[in-house]
Chains A and B, each alone.
Chain A
């Protein structure tokens, strides 16, 4: 198993991430790209800002990749990159590339990685809306005792929203 895990302040280069995993024995490369959309829960988003504990995030990425390899094959290889800082609509926030012998494990591992990132990586998102307001999206508690462990929701500057 090999994994390249990083956070970056610069735009994510998709081709570089894909080409980093080139193995003659592998027949599949699965690519997931998460990008910034212009709406969330009925609100028009102007841009977002990602904050992260970068050391812990990269450590968590590596742990998640190792888990995926233990589930679906030790010969899987990964590239996981997440951008931090200000992102405009359409910008790539995260990329997960999984290389494997066959497509089945690459699909499964890719899905696992991104789903785990969403609930385990110490990354936070602040949305800036067209109406001028901003909100830190609250999300999933990392601590076992937290009430929000299974009920992600927004930390709003005024009023609250439920984030499905």
Chain B
């Protein structure tokens, strides 16, 4: 069992402490599977369950690059959860 630290941005800042969310993970998994894991976690609370739709349209990033759905996330790793963007 390990912890993945998820850096939060945009609408996801209402989760965790607003900066980071700690997600327990038994073993390495793909981004796609991690997304499902997050979805289950969000559904545990009424306030975060409405974020599940946004989660499906969100990207996951490592330190400096976006990860694709087949990228592997390891316990102990830190990733960023990036909802749909609207800068500029």
Instruction: Given the known inter-chain contacts A82-B88, A118-B87, please indicate yes or no for A142 contacting B13, CB distance below 8 A.
Output: no
Name the residue in B13, B64, B85, B86 with the highest tally of chain A Cβ atoms < 10 Å from its Cβ. Answer: B85
Chain A residues contacting B10 (CB-CB under 8 Å) are 51, 124, 126, 136
B80 near A53: Cβ-Cβ < 8 Å? yes
Interface of B is mostly: mixed
B86 near A146: Cβ-Cβ < 8 Å? no
B82 near A117: Cβ-Cβ < 8 Å? no
Count of A-B residue pairs with CB < 8 Å:
108
A147 near B57: Cβ-Cβ < 8 Å? yes
B54 near A34: Cβ-Cβ < 8 Å? no
Chain A residues contacting B13 (CB-CB under 8 Å) are 51
A143 near B58: Cβ-Cβ < 8 Å? yes
Mark each residue of chain B from 1 to 23: 1 if its CB lies under 8 Å from any CB of chain A, else 0.
00000010111010000000000
Q: How far, in whole Å, are A125 and B83 apart by their CA atoms in the complex? A: 11
Interface residues on A, range: 35 or more
B56 near A152: Cβ-Cβ < 8 Å? no
B86 near A123: Cβ-Cβ < 8 Å? yes
| A52 sits at the interface (CB 8 A) | yes
A142 near B59: Cβ-Cβ < 8 Å? yes
Q: How far, in whole Å, are A123 and B64 apart by their CA atoms in the complex? A: 15
| B66 sits at the interface (CB 8 A) | yes
| A18 sits at the interface (CB 8 A) | no
A142 to B, closest residue via Cβ: B59
Q: A-B pairs with the 8 shortest C-beta distances? A: A123-B87, A139-B86, A124-B10, A146-B57, A142-B59, A118-B88, A143-B59, A136-B11
Contacts from A to B (Cβ < 8 Å): 34, 50-53, 55-57, 59, 82, 93-94, 114, 117-126, 136-143, 145-149, 152, 155, 163
